[in-house]
């Protein structure tokens, strides 16, 4: 990985994208060169079927090619590898159960070991960041998207177990990214397909949904991901990803989080079907998101880049301030990754 100080001075510093296959095509190269994204997120289609010959070797080659196209600018390679039903990699990594099952079957040592072994495996593939752990509380048994991905229905245990897993990932060599702030556990809808609402009063939000995130911030979690969810007790107009009240005032100022803040995917219906893209891009930056995810859609990524360019020209002072903040946090994450690699080697 190149120096953490060499990020490009362009709008692409806010953009995180994905690619369609196991090999880097000519059009993929052009796309990367044009976007110059800060992050590339890996999915199952980049890896191949389980047990396919040399799938891990091809994945290493793909990662090497991605870095080569963007060199000398660094790029963060990330993946959703939680365990259970959210696991892009099937080979070459520990086959972890859902986090609810892991926490019930073992204790702190077992959870730490699971995170550490997963971190070691991802680091060996030259992956920088894992979109884990889930810090959401298992507060709604009918939740269609979180459920057994959560460590516990007890907010304090959800924090302890998630941070234990996070520390294992870090010492194993990858940067953890907790999700989905300020808590997706008490929804009845999946934000991939709708815009959920958590209507709970503020005291319940603080003591249940927000509690694991507040504690994780105090323990120094380096990165978090927002939720495309409405919390009308805090903000009646905007979901967390687009809410200054939630992601800037509450998370940054009240809880003191100064790490890397990523949006959830802009392609998800929780944003796409309810807010114009022009609004979502600007509002997410106003809400202090450092990275905007545009997954599985080159067209979406290009539209978002167009909006970022327009903001850079229309609001240059504000945009430059946000870009400086984002670059500082990206550099910190890459420095942590380099330190993690040295610890785990």
- Residues that are catalytic: 192, 264
Please tell me the distance from the alpha carbon of residue 271 to that of residue 228, in angstroms, as a whole number.
7
Please tell me the distance from the alpha carbon of residue 281 to that of residue 283, in angstroms, as a whole number.
6
Phi-psi region of 220 (alpha: psi -120 to 50; beta: other; left: phi over 0): left
DSSP result, 290-303: SEEEE-S-HHHHHH
Question: Residues, the chain, total?
Answer: 345
Q: What are phi and psi of 263, to 5 degrees?
A: -75, 160
- Return the closest-CA partner of residue 209 out of 154, 263, 260, 165: 154
Helix or strand or coil: residue 320? helix
DSSP result, 202-232: HHHIIIIISHHHHHHHHTT--EEEE---BBT
């Amino acid at each position: 990985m190149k120096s953490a100080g060499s990020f490009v001075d362009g709008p692409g510093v806010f953009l995180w994208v994905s690619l369609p296959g196991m090999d880097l095509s000519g059009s993929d190269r052009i796309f990367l060169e044009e976007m110059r994204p800060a992050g590339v997120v890996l999915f199952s289609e980049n890896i191949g079927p389980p047990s396919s010959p040399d799938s891990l070797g091809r994945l290493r080659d793909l990662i090497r090619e991605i870095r080569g196209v963007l060199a000398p600018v660094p790029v963060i390679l990330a993946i959703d590898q939680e365990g259970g039903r959210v696991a892009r990699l099937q080979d070459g990594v520990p086959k972890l159960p859902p986090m609810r099952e892991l926490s019930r079957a073992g204790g702190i040592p077992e959870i730490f070991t699971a995170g550490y072994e997963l971190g070691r495996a991802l680091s060996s593939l030259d992956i920088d960041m894992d979109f884990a752990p889930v810090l959401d509380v298992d507060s709604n048994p009918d939740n269609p998207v979180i459920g057994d991905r959560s460590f516990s229905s007890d907010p304090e245990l959800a924090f302890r177990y998630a941070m234990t897993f996070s520390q294992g990932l870090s010492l194993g060599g990858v940067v953890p990214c907790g999700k989905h702030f300020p808590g997706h556990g008490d929804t009845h809808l999946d934000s991939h397909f709708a815009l959920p609402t958590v209507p709970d009063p503020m005291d319940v939000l603080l003591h249940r949904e927000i509690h694991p995130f507040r504690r994780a911030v105090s323990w120094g979690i380096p990165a978090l991901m927002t939720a495309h969810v409405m919390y009308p007790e805090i903000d009646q107009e905007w979901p967390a990803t687009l809410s200054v009240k939630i992601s800037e005032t509450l998370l940054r100022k009240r809880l003191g989080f100064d790490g890397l803040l990523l949006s959830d995917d802009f392609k998800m219906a929780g944003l796409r079907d309810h807010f114009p893209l022009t609004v979502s891009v600007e509002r997410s930056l106003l809400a202090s998101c450092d990275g905007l995810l545009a997954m599985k859609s080159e067209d979406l990524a290009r539209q978002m880049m167009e909006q970022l360019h327009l903001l850079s020209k229309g609001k240059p002072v504000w945009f430059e301030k946000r870009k400086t903040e984002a670059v500082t946090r990206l550099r910190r994450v890459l420095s942590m990754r380099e330190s993690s690699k040295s610890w785990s080697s």
